[in-house]
Structure 1
Amino acid sequence: MLGMSVEVRNDKSQNQYTILDDGRPVGFAVYQVSGHDIAFTHTEVDPSEQGKGLASILVQEALDDVKATTDLRVVPACSYVANWVEKHQEYEELTRR
């Protein structure tokens, strides 16, 4: 069961987006910026929190943030992000910027 407030924030100092459930970190998506690319290299959700859709929320919020605040091209180097983008065709444009 998800808490009352799920929040995703960009922790730029750690090069990762962190997902919090009621203020508690429960997962992250690590990225590396190189030139005009932002490569998502690893996505992880606490095993005790899996199955709640948190990884999907995390990836969607991270990609929405990249789209809204940068002109970087998304490189889905992590298999979860690659599969997510494949299932959500409207985000494929981010991989061709």
Structure 2
Amino acid sequence: MMNEVKLSLNKLGNGAFFIMDGAELLGEMVVNITGSDLTVYHTEVSAKAEGKGFAKKLLAAMVDHARNNNLKVIALCPYVYAQFIRHPDEYADIWKKVSSNQ
């Protein structure tokens, strides 16, 4: 399938969901998975791939992964946080809200 989202993690749980076009990185969502927490740090889509819905695809893949693995999402990424705020009911089951003064 073209532009499918893949997940790559190292043994410390650091890595990213990403979309490639051949050898070129089109988009990535940087994450860490530790225990039952999936922390999302950053989402980035390359300039040439903007407007193609890749950020949404990355978000959907991350959410599916969290649900399938009983993980709670800590949304430190502004994009993911904005989506969670905008659609709280859709993400309530996986959203781990942390106080902002940590």
Shared fold (TM-score, shorter chain, > 0.5): yes
Match runs of 1:10-29 below 5 Å: 10-13=7-10, 15-21=15-21, 24-29=24-29
Which blocks of at least 5 consecutive residues in structure 2 are unaligned?
97-102
Deviation sequence 1:9-61 (CA, Å, 0-9, x none) = 11113511012346743010011123331110011000121111110111111
The amino acid across from 1:7 in the alignment is E
Q: Percent identity?
A: 29
Match runs of 1:18-97 below 5 Å: 18-21=18-21, 24-68=24-68, 70-88=69-87, 89-96=89-96
Q: In structure 2, do the counterparts of structure 1 residues 87 and 19 end up closer, same or farther at CA, with 3 Å as the change threshold?
A: farther
Q: Distance in 2 between matches of 1:85 and 1:21?
A: 28
More helix by share: 1
Kindly tell me the number of residue pairs found equivalent between the two proteins: 92
Q: Distance in 2 between matches of 1:35 and 1:56?
A: 25
> What root-mean-square deviation, in Å, do the aligned CA atoms of Structure 1 and Structure 2 show?
2.0
Which blocks of at least 5 consecutive residues in structure 1 are unaligned?
none
Q: Distance in 2 between matches of 1:16 and 1:66?
A: 13
Q: Distance in 2 between matches of 1:31 and 1:58?
A: 11
